[in-house]
A = this chain, B = another copy of it.
Amino acid sequence: MASTKTHPAYELLYWPSIPGRGEFIRLAFEAVGVPYKDTANESEDGVKVILPLISPESTGSDGNPPVFAPPALRIPEAGKNGTDLLLYQTPAILSYLGDKLGLAGSDDAERSWVLSHTLTALDLNNEAHDTHHPIASALYYEDQKTEALRKSKDFREARIPKFLGFFERVLKSNDGEGKGKFLVGGQLSYADLTVWHVVSGLLYAFPKEMEARKSEFPVLLGTFFESVKEQEGIKGYLASERRKPFSMGVFRLYPELDRQ
């Protein structure tokens, strides 16, 4: 277990209240039982920690570059000359952490596939976000609803089956070692956690579409989905208050965007 090793005091910097893109980082820590500080969720004025980080004036600090957008991860004394190291971009943080937490696969090939499948799941995550914000993130949903209805139709009819069919095939291709439970090799990776969370989000945001398609992806939505939920660290996390419910983040329940 990674948790028996000594780990630095990792600090996740992300918006409070929603799972969002920070959730992929939380799941990695929770799966292996390594402690982390979820600053914006744990402090009263959480958002005040995030805003200066992404200020359009920032040129970074302590030898770290500026951050484009949260999530970011602060690792005490891991930077240049013993300063704090600050990382950003979900897949880059997962790639860095994956090695430290034992969630990155067992060799160079597996390491690359774990990252690849994660990137593919995050592409699906982005496309799910764009169903309700197809024109501009800065506009309200109501101001791009006509376009959202049209994009969601393509997302449900073409994109969901394309992505879920792909992950179903990845699980089948790794059946010998993974037994339908793991995408890469014979152990849990951050790709499993990422795909699992995106599927969870789709089940929340597109319940009718997913119900109608359930039988098309029996390994992904059956064996795999149930297995990740039962991982020791994940099971405890999902029962805790640290797991935030889906609400108004990437995955939103707008019934008009679901299958009618």
Q: Among residues 17 to 63 in chain A, which have CB atoms less than 8 Å away from a CB atom of chain B?
A: 56, 58-60
What would be 6 A-B contacts, judged by CB atoms less than 8 Å apart?
Answer: A68-B116, A78-B109, A79-B109, A96-B112, A136-B158, A147-B147
| Chain A 131-159 per-residue mask, 1 if CB under 8 angstroms from chain B, else 0 | 00011101100000001001100100010
Q: Does A95 contact B (CB under 8 A)?
A: yes
Q: Quick check: B109 and A88 within 8 Å, CB to CB?
A: no
Q: Quick check: B59 and A120 within 8 Å, CB to CB?
A: no
| Chain A 97-114 per-residue mask, 1 if CB under 8 angstroms from chain B, else 0 | 000000000001100110
Select the stretch in A162-170, A198-206, A233-241, A250-258 that faces chain B. A162-170
Q: Does A65 contact B (CB under 8 A)?
A: yes
Distance from A84 Cβ to chain B, minimum over Cβ atoms (Å): 11
Q: A78-B109, A134-B135 are in contact. Are A119 and B89 (CB under 8 A)?
A: yes
Secondary structure type dominating chain A contacts: helix
Q: Quick check: B119 and A65 within 8 Å, CB to CB?
A: no
Q: Quick check: A172 and B59 within 8 Å, CB to CB?
A: yes
- Residues of B near A128 (CB, < 8 A) are none
* Complex: A64 Cα to B154 Cα, angstroms: 30
Q: Quick check: B85 and A109 within 8 Å, CB to CB?
A: yes
Q: A58-B169, A66-B173 are in contact. Are A138 and B113 (CB under 8 A)?
A: no
* Complex: A138 Cα to B155 Cα, angstroms: 11
Q: Quick check: A59 and B173 within 8 Å, CB to CB?
A: yes
Q: Does A115 contact B (CB under 8 A)?
A: yes
Q: Quick check: B135 and A68 within 8 Å, CB to CB?
A: no
Q: Quick check: A116 and B87 within 8 Å, CB to CB?
A: yes
6 nearest CB pairs, A to B: A136-B154, A89-B116, A60-B173, A59-B173, A92-B116, A92-B115
Q: Quick check: A151 and B166 within 8 Å, CB to CB?
A: no
Distance from A67 Cβ to chain B, minimum over Cβ atoms (Å): 9
Q: Does A184 contact B (CB under 8 A)?
A: yes
* Complex: A158 Cα to B85 Cα, angstroms: 29
Closest B residue, CB atoms, query A176 = B63
Q: Quick check: B166 and A117 within 8 Å, CB to CB?
A: no
Q: Does A5 contact B (CB under 8 A)?
A: no
